[in-house]
Structure 1
């Protein structure tokens, strides 16, 4: 049997119309109804009609959790199971749900609160850098206060996060093919999110984590584990910690993974994995039409 990892994208992968083709499936329709009760608003209405809201953190994160988890449940209904799971930032919550660490509604309550806290975080800045000198980047970040490597996505793509002044300093000093400021409200995955992280911890403490049914590669510590205590500790560090996706990609062959399925809109993660580990089989399940038999 081919050892397979399922991976789940985070904020930035959303697209207008996502999830609406699932409304014809009774179990999916039921989940959307449950989500409306928890969230107080309709995932499908925003996905169909409200592009501005779809790109707002407050809505984006719960919507991605709901749509990606529904797609995953439909894959599992067809008899498929992963050998390992991982998710990028918000995507880690779907990975933990799939691994049985918490139930679906508990996960959505966590994501709802995470989105609320991150949505009101202001005063920070993030920027993506493509095709850069990594050694130079690390040196400049080390010598510039209030900026960190927030997302180490692939050998050729990273995101930095911090105060606007510090981020602009790094952008001006590091030679890169492209450097793009991101449309986000705050400096996600940096020490500037410490207040949000502390508030989030109060709800995280109320959720009991179970041992994972399959190994999970966490963002802040990409070493596979099924230990509930370790997984919770890693998740508690995630809002302020770096997303070490390049290292997650490198861990896939270490864990004997031969195939990766990205579940959710877009193909960001399979693209990043391909740049880091080119020999894996990579597939996507973005909608109902791409569900396996």
Structure 2
């Protein structure tokens, strides 16, 4: 069965996520490596109130580590997908799953990325639900300082940029809901150029290996690749480029994929896939019970 593994990004965090993983013997090495790299314990942050956990510098490492632990368990049971992808941060998790980078290197990149993003203090992001897409795209094109940052589905997007520009778009386009997001800056927009330049310099010092499983990028959603140079270039562009998730889903639907497995906290991505690629069979693996259910349905 043609299968894609998908990995969540910021916004999928929840208090006590990963709780049943933290006492597993197989998780201890990664949790210790994480504490050594980060200077704080993943389990402790996941038990904090949501306002603390939702700070970018904590959210991103926690999501990455939980997904990585689940990836290792699935691989130890002999499971492997045909392609990998992730939403924003989740693309770095996909690079770990593809063995482009090892766990510690991936977490170091996530730490640096999350710190750079948390230090962005200008601009903002607003989620829009239910709108006329042509009208929205026309207004964005006419409004300086705002971009379509996350194209999640036909009727759910996130716009990013200057606060006043975002307000102008919201005033001019009729939507069912407009929800300002609790983020520090205008992620996935040109306003992240400074942070992106610093992250590119960090990436330049890291060796990327050939992907053992093709990775589908947020920046290039129609061409999975195993090329390490290409993958490094794409992840460098991602901080200022839009997340083209709707197009990823359309690619999966048109390319014969039959099953999507969301690995990590929450079920945001399977919800979005269902809206665009309804033919795919969907699974969520965020804890050991769900992992056991998946194994029972998909016996190797």
Q: Does TM, scored on the shorter chain, surpass 0.5?
A: yes
Unpaired runs of 5+ residues, structure 1, are none
CA distance in 2, matches of 1:289, 1:194: 41
| Aligned residue pair count | 292
- Distance in 1, matches of 2:98 and 2:256, equals 18
The aligned counterpart of 1:80 is 79
Secondary structure, counterpart of 2:47 in structure 1: helix
1:124 deviation in Å? 0.7
**Aligned twin of 1:169:** 168
Task: For residue 45 of structure 1, give the secondary structure of its aligned residue in structure 2.
Answer: helix
Aligned to 2:298: none
2:253–2:279 Cα contact (<8 Å) kept? no
Preserved contact between residue 22 and residue 29 of structure 1 (Cα < 8 Å): no
Q: Residue 85 of structure 1 aligns to a residue in which SS?
A: strand
Task: State the partner residue of 1:145.
Answer: 144
Deviations 1:194-225 (A, max 9, x none): 00011111111111111111111100111211
Aligned residue for 1:126, secondary structure, equals: strand
What displacement does 1:50 show? Answer: 4.1
Aligned residue number for residue 238 of structure 2:
238
Q: Does 1:113 align with 2:107?
A: no
1:89 is matched with which residue? Answer: 88
The reply on whether 1:275 has 2:275 as its aligned counterpart is: yes
Unaligned runs of 5+ in 2: 296-300
Q: Secondary structure at the match of 1:121?
A: coil
Q: TM-score, normalised by structure 1?
A: 0.98
What's the counterpart of residue 203 of structure 1?
202
For the aligned residue pairs, the C-alpha RMSD in angstroms reads 0.9
- How far the C-alpha of 1:255 sits from its partner, in A, is 3.2
SS in 2 for 1:102: coil
Q: CA deviation at 1:112?
A: 0.2
Structure-2 separation of matches of 1:49 and 1:88: 24
